Structure 1
Amino acid sequence: MKELWRTPSFRWFWLGIFLSAVGNSFGSFGVSWYLLHRTGSGAIMGTSILSYYVPALISGLIAGVLLDRIDRRKLIIFDNVVRGSLYGLLVFLLSLPAVPVATVYIIMALAGMLSPLSSTGQQAMLPNLIKDKELLIKANSVMSAQWQIVWLFGPMLAGLAVTLIGPANVIIIDSISFFLCAACFLRVSYTYKPNSNISSQTKREALLHFWKDLVVGYRYIGTNSMLLSLLFFSLFFNMGYSPVELLPVYIQQVWGIGKEAYQGYMLTAIAIGSLGSSMLFIAKNWKYPIGVTVGAIIFLWGLAIFPLGFTQRMEIAVVCFFVGGVVFAPFNVLISTYIQKQVPNEILGRVLTANRSITGFGLPVGSFLSGLLASSLGMDRIFVYCAVLCMLVGIIAMVRLRALR
């Protein structure tokens, strides 16, 4: 653990992503409540999530190739500067009268297209900052813990900020955080040199090679049946998690308007549970099989959120999210570490983006469907259906992935 913090580049790496995560918690909160206040529609909220994640999944294929050919640090800096500018533009546009909702979709789509450069880039970059590969699971746990720290305070502060200055103005904090992240990455010393021979190729050869590169990640995953199964179960888990993205709609349906702070309480509960679980992973060496652990996490998440369909007591909902946070936290840590250890560094970016394109569809599609069905079924019923889905998938995963270690 101490070895990680003794590395200056890791400290700047961690700080940059932490600052960006703080901003993201404000930005997502601001956009969600802006749309809900303006339209009152869960479907529009779900569409906004779709407008961000689907372009990210599509552009991720190209981002994976770029991350294996171009300096990953420079790409992350570029992404943060441009996205910071986009969110700054969004704040300005939302200050104008009668701005079409489509404006939010367009800005979100552009930001989503750029996001894989950082979201995948940081995962691909991390193994090059850690000399001892046995420390990777601890490094991933430390990176995961920062998100829990953010969600511990971010949602409550964001909810307060929405109440005081309005949801549109809260987005400026997200814009500033991107520029701060870029500044931190300027201080990261990064020695990995991508293996590229593009300069010696003709334009036609480079183009043909580029299209071949797009499928490298999928080919690797396709030849590894266990990895493919792992990603398949992750896809369904993301769908089961997706109603959390529509908490404002759930809160409004169950408790009425003017309860923005409730979202902060629930997300903070997830954060507290997740942070404690992440600290355990940092302090202890996890010796249990990865496959069985992943299946158990999916099952227990379903068990944790099941009561949300049957209660109108806010404190019970908070307890459900706390328990959910405890079981959820190790999920991405285990999968990221497994991929980072198994995949050769020269194709890691492409495999990670292929992974995201497979598993990532679960969240936006699930969020869109949840928003679409929220008015007819009710978000409480949707939580129940997703809980049952997770429990069934978790049981199957524990059996199918039992050999994965």
Structure 2
Amino acid sequence: MTPSVHGGTAAPAQPPAAPSSTASYWAPLRVPVFRTLWLAQFASNIGSWMQTVGAQWLITEQGGSAGLIALVQTAASLPVLLLGIPAGALADIVDRRKLLFTAQLLMLMAAALLAILTALGQMDSYGVLILTFVLGCGTALMNPAWQAIQPELVARRDLIPAAAALGGVNMNMARAVGPALGGLVVALAGTAAVFALNAASFLVTLAALATWHRPATDSPMAAERMMPAIRAGYRYVRHAPRIRKVLGRLLLYVPCAAALWALLPVVASQQLGMGVGGYGLLLGAVGAGAVLGAVVLPRARRKWSSNVTLAGGGVLLALTLLVLAVVRIPWIVGVALAFSGLAWVGVLSILNAQMQVTAPEWVRARALAVYLTIFQGGLAIGAAVWGSIADSLGVRGALLVAAAVMVIGSLVGLFIAVPDTELDRSPSMHWPTPAMVLDPSAATGPVLVTVEYRVPADHADAFTDAMGAVGRSRLRTGALHWDLFRDGSQPDRYLELFTVASWEEHERQHGGRLTGYDRSAEEKSRSLVDPEHPLTVSHYLPIHRDSG
């Protein structure tokens, strides 16, 4: 048994399950609850792609410019910039199942209103954008919770990457079916019918959620409050190097990829002379390539590192943008779009799986909310930018610029390597309850914690290096400030200190925010300490004096 940094005895942390190299990417579908919700998500995604085709084509029929058509993507994605982070905090605070119910009901009402007003002939381009924005608000509320429940649904850690990949397969299978189906429905029954079918798809998801009985989670502490929870999520992401690398790669990829989704309807109608059915088939080619990507990706991951695979996906998408810019033969464009779908699902499944397995349970939805905010924000801002460039330089010029920037971003991304090694993110409550004579309230703060170490001279450099990881751990789990000092009169004496906003925040460090990886960092630094001088831990509380 290893002594805790706060004294006492710690229970051993459980290492993460090793990923199975033989596990099929379809294995999570053998889990009944995952399969039910996955199929419901598939129905909802088909409805969403039908809705996108209907919205873009309705604006096209009304004579909207390329910039206005591109704003459909912006209206769908922009709400994540406004609501994504609070939604992530909500998903870590409230019951995720109830939050998903609320978001689905909001989207059901918006889609139904869009269908009714369109059927009555009362819907113009700006009305489409407004209700698309409302649907985006529901998506913003839903996405962090939906992503965060995936590890709960599959249970086994080695299935999480497969579950993340299946999420991409789901979206892109829907992309293969939804646009073509949406184009067919628009041609046969009009855009109002497409919007009505999208509304019905939310009923399917609500029915699936009703069948999922999420186990109650007993926590000795009350739920976090909204603003402290948001700040805690921000601190975690800021001080988690691996997550920052994933977000950096995402930021290099998505804004350029937005050119594909924003300008493809213009390419179909203006450059290829295709109708709504042909546009649906082009989107179907993207989806078919994405489904193929789910088959190819495991083989690519065995052959190449994540870093190389991500760069290759970016270059492949850049080549697709180049083909869209210069080729006027529909079947060649369709083949190129299939490769773009392969690249799309390959890149995003790697990045999404990294987020799923890297963020611990207590902050997973908040970390995923940051990921989704960058993802959807990149799509929203990117779509608006490429639409504006297309209005100025033409669609061909915008696609050529996007392809060039994507290649540059892919090469830069090689220097932001996303490691393939796993971290132990299992909870490790190895800090015992502090022995306190005073009884601070939850709001008491700030709290100053000090830890005194005695380190032999020959371990000084190694100890200082090891404490860097310990400092990041303190900052990830709640510390506002952290530092390490050395006694000038006794060079073997080191003093670590960190401040926490309140006693409640420090209790949360004791009560579940630490992981096996945090414990390993502490054990590495403690192995360099003089064993004849045990650590000394102190907690200092503020003294508030009356001005009188």
Q: TM-score, normalised by structure 1?
A: 0.91
Contact 1:195 1:346 in 2 (8 A): no
Secondary structure class of the residue paired with 2:327: coil
1:165 alignment counterpart: 189
**Residue 334 (str. 1) matches residue 358 (str. 2):** no
**Residue 300 (str. 1) matches residue 324 (str. 2):** no
1:9 alignment counterpart: 33
Q: In structure 2, what is the Cα distance between the partners aligned to 1:301 and 1:292?
A: 14
Secondary structure class of the residue paired with 1:235: helix
Unaligned runs of 5+ in 1: 200-205
Q: In structure 2, what is the Cα distance between the partners aligned to 1:284 and 1:390?
A: 21
Q: TM-score, normalised by structure 2?
A: 0.68
2:267 alignment counterpart: 250
Alignment of 1:177-326 (within 5 A): 177-191=201-215, 193=217, 195=219, 197-198=221-222, 209-246=225-262, 247-256=264-273, 259-281=275-297, 286=302, 288-326=304-342
Matched letter for residue 267 of structure 2: Y
Alignment of 1:8-47 (within 5 A): 8-47=32-71
1:145 alignment counterpart: 169
Secondary structure class of the residue paired with 2:217: coil
Q: In structure 1, what is the Cα distance between the partners aligned to 2:122 and 2:62?
A: 11
**Residue 116 (str. 1) matches residue 111 (str. 2):** no
Matched letter for residue 193 of structure 2: N
Q: In structure 2, what is the Cα distance between the partners aligned to 1:119 and 1:196?
A: 27
Shift of 1:124: 0.2
Aligned residues with identical type, % of pairs: 23
Shift of 1:27: 0.8
2:526 alignment counterpart: none
Is the deviation greater in 314-323 or in 260-269? 260-269
Q: In structure 1, what is the Cα distance between the partners aligned to 2:116 and 2:378?
A: 32
Unaligned runs of 5+ in 2: 1-23, 422-548
2:118 alignment counterpart: 94
Q: In structure 2, what is the Cα distance between the partners aligned to 1:369 and 1:174?
A: 28
CA change 1:255–1:304 in 2 (3 A) is: closer
Q: In structure 2, what is the Cα distance between the partners aligned to 1:248 and 1:278?
A: 26
Contact 1:61 1:357 in 2 (8 A): yes
Shift of 1:220: 1.8
Higher strand share: 2
In the alignment, which of 401, 409, 413 is matched to residue 385 of structure 1? Answer: 401
Q: In structure 2, what is the Cα distance between the partners aligned to 1:84 and 1:7?
A: 27
CA change 1:47–1:402 in 2 (3 A) is: closer
Give the RMSD, CA atoms, in angstroms: 2.3
Q: In structure 2, what is the Cα distance between the partners aligned to 1:196 and 1:350?
A: 21
Shift of 1:21: 0.7
Contact 1:69 1:195 in 2 (8 A): no
Contact 2:249 2:413 in 1 (8 A): yes
Q: In structure 1, what is the Cα distance between the partners aligned to 2:399 and 2:215?
A: 46
CA change 1:384–1:89 in 2 (3 A) is: same
Higher helix share: 1
Alignment of 1:344-363 (within 5 A): 344-363=360-379
Q: In structure 1, what is the Cα distance between the partners aligned to 2:199 and 2:332?
A: 35
CA change 1:179–1:282 in 2 (3 A) is: farther
Secondary structure class of the residue paired with 1:361: helix
Secondary structure class of the residue paired with 1:193: coil
In the alignment, which of 75, 84, 87 is matched to residue 60 of structure 1? Answer: 84
Bigger radius of gyration: 2
Shift of 1:367: 0.8
Secondary structure class of the residue paired with 1:191: coil
Contact 2:307 2:414 in 1 (8 A): yes
Shift of 1:170: 1.2
Q: In structure 1, what is the Cα distance between the partners aligned to 2:313 and 2:399?
A: 17
Q: Which has the higher contact order (CA 8 A, sep 6+)?
A: 1
Shift of 1:97: 3.8
Q: In structure 2, what is the Cα distance between the partners aligned to 1:143 and 1:338?
A: 14
Q: Per-residue CA shift, 1:343-373, capped at 9, x if unaligned?
A: 1111101111112223332111111122223
Q: In structure 2, what is the Cα distance between the partners aligned to 1:378 and 1:109?
A: 27
